[in-house]
Structure 1
Amino acid sequence: MNDAVAIVVDAAGQRFGTRTIFENVSFTVATGEVFVVLGGSGCGKSTLLKQMIGLLPPTQGRISVRGHDVVTEVEAVRRDIGVMFQSGALFGSMTLLENIMLPLAMFTDLPARARAEIARIKLALVGLADAVNLLPSEISGGMAKRAAIARALALDPPILFLDEPSAGLDPITGAGLDRLILDLRAALGCTFVVVTHELQSIFAIADRCVMLDRAAKGMIALGVPRDLQRTSDHPTVRAFFNREAES
């Protein structure tokens, strides 16, 4: 395995029956990179995310995470990743502390006291040190996103996948979450793959991005967001990054 490369997506595609979602999508994600998957509704962003985390086998091509194939070595892949789903997916009957302790209880032999201490550390990392005993119903949407990131961090994975982390948040809260992602990358050295269509977040956090397109049934851009904004001659890419209607 090349330690400089965290993820390889090689000619990946997905079909459901006779319907093609995308095909021939290829890119790599460097270790320590914040890599964004973007595009309009229905282009396959969430489908590609499910492929990369081993929930949906690609119908074309190959994807590997830290050298492990997502189809044939899915258990090894899952040991290396943490996932924050768009809704947060916190268990409503558990406190935030208990939510973060859950993966530690499932996948480690640590005693309860150690699990609780690790969970407190993870919550402190995301700015929720004072909220450990609150239920998900007692916190804001932004706090729920942070708690979901803390749970994704529970087992110290080298790669984090975040699905629409800024969705539904006000601009100030969203900007705070962008800063948190960059701070965690700096502190922990994690690789981030972020699915989003929030333009401000893309410019704030992305080292590079890939853009999928529903009409093209595949990728139409790969690179640094500001470079794509300035230099792309593709009308959809140009319209997206300049927040314009396509002519």
Structure 2
Amino acid sequence: MSETTVSAEAVIRCEGIAAGFGSNILFRDVTFDVKRGEVFVILGGSGCGKSTLLKLMIGLVPPLAGRVTILDTDVWATEGKARLELLKRIGVMWQQGALFGSLTLLENVEMPLAEHTSLSAAARAEVARAKLGLVGLSEAASRLPSEVSGGMLKRAGVARALALDPPILFLDEPSAGLDPITSAGLDAMIRDLSRTLGTTFVVVTHELASILAIGDRCIMLDKEAKGVIAEGDPRRLREESTQPTVRAFFRREAA
């Protein structure tokens, strides 16, 4: 495992995290931080625990060991109203968008506003339209999820994740199932949002082109090692890593 320096600017800290199901340990001793305003990528091959780590970080899957703090709050030691307030400060986009099929894109983006704010219906619609505009979907506001492309579903999922203006967004496999051109457009959108809004992104993916396009820093999980085998700028890892599995991943070679 690479050495990881915990930064004073960290908005997320994972310390000594272990996760698994029954006797199956996915990973252990995972320690890293995520800095304010960066695009941080969790990468690795299938079955290494990437999505499980994301779910653990946002409070859906409990760790077997270790500690997760977001914005100086311990995710798993916080309960009740304090936990809800913390979760309102993060947004999540799931792999398939997870939109409600009977609602328009605008209505989907309005949902967090209806649940967690006292805004009027007109104000909610105005905010939702602004969020759809940020992801390039102003003209699709009245469409149903079944009426738009896969790439548009992902963008709408990001818009909904942005509804409450959270400082941190988690994206689960945003490029999965997309063609290269659509995927590149989504990558550009993520970079633009990071720069213009100052939002911190945590992105789970194994798509090499996306990793190199959007990632400021990354960790690489490995199924065999059951933990982190590399950490740093993905472009530097591609060029400089001497670890065989890391080199094979970034150079698309057989290990």
Q: TM-score range by the shorter chain?
A: over 0.9
- Aligned match of 2:231 in 222, 229, 246? 222
- State the Cα distance separating 1:72 from its structure 2 match: 1.6
- State the Cα distance separating 1:84 from its structure 2 match: 0.1
CA RMSD of superposed structures (Å): 1.0
- Aligned match of 2:61 in 53, 56, 65? 56
- Aligned match of 1:79 in 88, 101, 104? 88
2: CA distance, partners of 1:21 / 1:204: 27
Name the aligned partner's letter for residue 55 of structure 1: L
CA offset digits 1:182-212 (Å, max 9, x no partner): 1101111000000000000000000000000
- Please state whether the residue corresponding to 1:11 is helix, strand or coil: strand
2: CA distance, partners of 1:119 / 1:76: 21
- Please state whether the residue corresponding to 1:245 is helix, strand or coil: coil
Aligned to 1:201: 210
Q: When the two structures are superposed, what TM-score results if normalisation uses the length of structure 2? A: 0.94
- Aligned match of 2:126 in 107, 114, 117? 117
- Aligned match of 2:47 in 42, 45, 59? 42
Q: Percent identity?
A: 62
My pick for the range that moved more, 151-160 or 76-85, is 76-85
Whether 2:27 is the aligned partner of 1:27: answer no
Aligned to 2:251: 242
Name the aligned partner's letter for residue 41 of structure 2: V
State the aligned residue count. 245
Q: What are structure 2's unaligned runs of at least 5 residues?
A: 1-6
Q: What are structure 1's unaligned runs of at least 5 residues?
A: none
Q: Is the 8 A contact 1:12 1:61 kept in 2?
A: yes
- Please state whether the residue corresponding to 2:77 is helix, strand or coil: coil
- State the Cα distance separating 1:15 from its structure 2 match: 2.4
Q: After the TM superposition, which residues 71-220 of structure 1 pair with which residues of structure 2 at under 5 Å, given as runs? A: 71-73=76-78, 74-220=83-229
Name the aligned partner's letter for residue 96 of structure 1: L
Whether 2:13 is the aligned partner of 1:4: answer no
- State the Cα distance separating 1:226 from its structure 2 match: 1.2
CA offset digits 1:61-112 (Å, max 9, x no partner): 1011111111122324312100000010000000000000001000011110
Q: Is the 8 A contact 1:68 1:76 kept in 2?
A: no
- State the Cα distance separating 1:3 from its structure 2 match: 6.9
